Chains A and B, each alone.
Chain A
Amino acid sequence: MRNHDLVIIGAGLAGMRAALEGVKAGIDVAIISKIHPLRSHSCAAQGGINAAINPKDSRESHAFDTVKGADYIGDEDAIQLMCQEAPEAILEMDRMGTPFSRLEGGLIAQRPFGGASFDRTCYAADRTGQVLLHTLWEQLVKAGVHVYEECSVFRLVTHTDGHVAGAVVYDIKTGEVFPVAGKAVLMATGGYGRVFFSNTNATTCTGDGMALALRAGAPLADMEFVQFHPTGLLTTGVLVTEGARGEGGYLINANGDRFMSKYAPKKLELASRDVVSRAEQTEIMEGRGKNGAVFLDLRHLGAEKILERLPQIRQLSIDLEGVDPIHHPIPIRPTAHYSMGGIRTDKFGASPLPGLFSAGEAACVSVHGANRLGGNSLLDTIVFGKITGQHASQYVKTQSQRDFPVSELVEVKGRIGTLKRGKGMRAPELLERMSRALNLHCGVFRNPEGMQEMVNQLPGLRQEYERVSVQDQSEVFNIDLIRAWELGNLLDLAECIARGALARQESRGAHSRTDFPNRDDQNWRRHTISHWNANQGVVTLSYEDVRTLGLPEYEPMVRSY
């Protein structure tokens, strides 16, 4: 049997950063990834990564902005840790080879980002994620870390004592199903954007790790908090960086008015993402949009600045929307972008399930609370990839390998056979039905009837999924089968989102209810925890207090920008 001390699932920024810590600690570490590491969605992060590296800035100020941005439901110990470690994490990436944009004199350049009280977002033009990802991959190659490429994990396996024992892996290239045993597993599988019909995410962002963890008995936290990015391209939902507004871009409605002055008079376009998305949605709903879009106007920046600072954005607008932002405003709309929720962990990335760790978007540490600030997600992956990698590496040194229950392998093979024999609807059709419903009922604004309707639809969708059909019967590169499998994961996560949203009777951060428009700290300043109830086949909820530090500056106040 293949076995390693630490098995990391996912080869994006968090997974690769963690793997490097495993190498440093001298343990046997391997990564399993359903795509080549360089294809990971971390590469699509455009605008930048936050850190208080300017002497005039402070880590405390970064932490305060993050606590406030999170709408007071982020765990304060984790937020402090992240902001404390941020400058060193950036400098490490710099030393490894990331070509950050520089100022005269060689200091790393920084740009303004939403919700931040200082220009603290470091960047490499508008492809920060891509250069970070390539840097970590370079180090991974240098260290010779073993990667199971194009291998999907179909089950997270626990021993009878409840401790993690490894994973059941499906090799996409060959169709082989095999066990990979590990003393610990670290989930770094990213987010689940595909659960929404309109999203900025890659087709591979199906939240596999969260669903695997949930089914293995680990709790997920705050799944109802979904970030809608204010600037997704109208037709495809593909992302236009917040950096475009950071560089001075305006948001205008169909009448050409800069509407943000109504909603966030001080910060305007650079208010927090939840605020801007709601403003756009309101403009669209009140009839001041065009074809369901408002516009990002960069024309006044001039061709030179656009070409220098936002070259990729310009090309994307031309390629995907047929609009050259030098001459015309770009049609955009709020689009599902990021999952604040995820596998519940402490500030060292350990989940309550013994032997399971998690980092990056897959995890809920929670540093983003109810709303993530732009530039904090890349930071989350680098900082908590490192910290969780360190802790998991030390942890496995104290553990013995648990026996891998072979029955799990048989079950997975049986499940694959059942999927291939299905006679019902095909996965793409069922996914569309589910994701459209979720967009409609659990979007930027949520009303009780809609959320209830979503919850009501779930059993029917699950029934339909039991019969889902797969046309491709081959063993080699069966993407039809993979899509069907991923849909099962998305269904579990949709249930967490819908139930969590319906139960939370307040508006906080990205969760905005029409019937409870205000934040309710008395009753709801707490995390929603989702559990899988295997007996009934449903998701159940419990609640957990926010980890606070009792600092006066972190006391909840009205969030205005």
Chain B
Amino acid sequence: MPVYTFRIQRNWTTEQGKLESHYRDYSLEVSATTTVLLALEEIRSSQDGTLTFRQSCRSAICGSCAMKISGRTRLACKTHVGDVARDGVVELAPMANQPVIKDLVVDIGPFYRKVHKIKPYLEDGPEQAHTLDKSAYDQVNHVTQCIMCGCCYSDCTMLEVSKEFVGPAALAKAFRVVADPREGQKTMRLRDLSEPSMMWSCSRCAMCVESCPKDVKPMEAIVKLRTRGMAKGFVDGPGAKHALAFHQDIQKWGDLNEFTLLQRTVGILGAVAELGTAWHLLKKGKIPSPFPHKAEGVEELRRIYQLLEEHPIDVETKAKEVVPE
């Protein structure tokens, strides 16, 4: 069996309350198909009892053992050592975007407080359906696969720059509720989700889709929330305005008019506030032309739009139909 080096970030709080951190290497002989969790357990049992990490079910359903494994957040219990080792080294660190408590353990409090913020439960109300058919949960099923492990939250690029963002898991949960026929407050929820730091703060980088171990596709849930929110008339925020401006430009010109896009997104006052940036861009010759550019074949594009409006497709599933489970 090959010998792997596990380069593990050790974290501890000093008596002065300061977080100290360093990497320590552990060697272990295991097969390439051993899970990282089993390897960690072996290291803790046979080499170092102070090595600390969370774990419970061993079968990718409880969500305890999310950690940074060779740069990406994954569940240790379903990750094979051989798949993540680089030159025989597996690098382990705690999840990002959350305060570290010790070694690979983070404080899950802030993550859950954000999930609580979207009111993660069905509510009674006027929009509640009282009968269900076989397809009632077609939209809900894939989001209920979420185990709240926090992988998406840890890898979210928006959270790196905006601590207020509610995060992909909370929004996937919000979609789980909004898309449930039994939910009675769909419109009120979509209104709340249109507030700052909620669904419009996602940059759609798709990192959450990549890192989700349960194939929940949070970003696609976010896109669907936005579509539903706009359909309910919540179009006053910068996110929705931006999307509408994009939509109008593409439909009309087949290309963006970036010169006026900012003003249409954040309004005239907002655009004035960005004059400094504009000056900076101007100096570098990066200010786009104020005159709209009409793309070639825009008529064809309009026909595509027309076709899509007549026959809407489900963005979440790409090509495959949702399988009712």
Contacts and interface: CB of A to CB of B under 8 A. Distances in A.
Nearest to B121: A138
Nearest to A432: B45
A287 to B, nearest CB: 26
A202 B122 contact: no
Contact of A99 (B33, B38, B180): B180
A322 B55 CA distance: 22
Contacts of B12: 474, 476
A40 B62 CA distance: 7
A43 B101 contact: no
Interface residues of B, number: 54
A309 B59 CA distance: 18
B307 interface: no
Interface residues of A, number: 57
B59 A316 contact: yes
Interface string B80-120: 10000000000000000000011101001000100010011
B284 interface: no
B246 interface: no
B132 to A, nearest CB: 4
Contacts of B136: 102, 106
Contact of A471 (B49, B80, B119): B49
Interface stretch (B139-147, B151-159, B249-257, B286-294): B139-147
A105 B132 CA distance: 7
B55 A203 contact: yes
A238 interface: yes
A105 B180 CA distance: 17
Contacts of A142: 119, 121
B78 interface: yes
Contacts of A36: 108, 112
A477 B61 contact: no
Interface in B1-45: 12-13, 33, 35, 38, 44-45
B145 A44 contact: no
A474 B140 CA distance: 44
Interface in A296-328: 307-309, 311-312, 315-316, 319-320, 322
A102 B133 contact: yes
Contact of B78 (A95, A239, A311, A319): A319
Given A101-B325, A125-B325, A316-B60, A474 B134 contact: no
Contacts of B63: 38-39
A72 B110 CA distance: 50
Given A39-B63, A105-B134, A131-B144, A309 B101 contact: no
Interface of B: 12-13, 33, 35, 38, 44-46, 48-50, 52-64, 78, 80, 101-103, 105, 108, 112, 116, 119-122, 131-134, 136-137, 140-141, 144-145, 147-148, 180, 182, 323-325
11 contacts: A41-B57, A44-B57, A44-B59, A95-B182, A106-B134, A142-B119, A236-B58, A239-B59, A428-B46, A471-B49, A476-B101
Given A44-B62, A138-B122, A141-B121, 15 more contacts: A35-B54, A40-B62, A41-B57, A43-B61, A102-B133, A102-B137, A127-B145, A141-B120, A238-B58, A320-B59, A426-B49, A428-B45, A470-B49, A477-B101, A479-B44
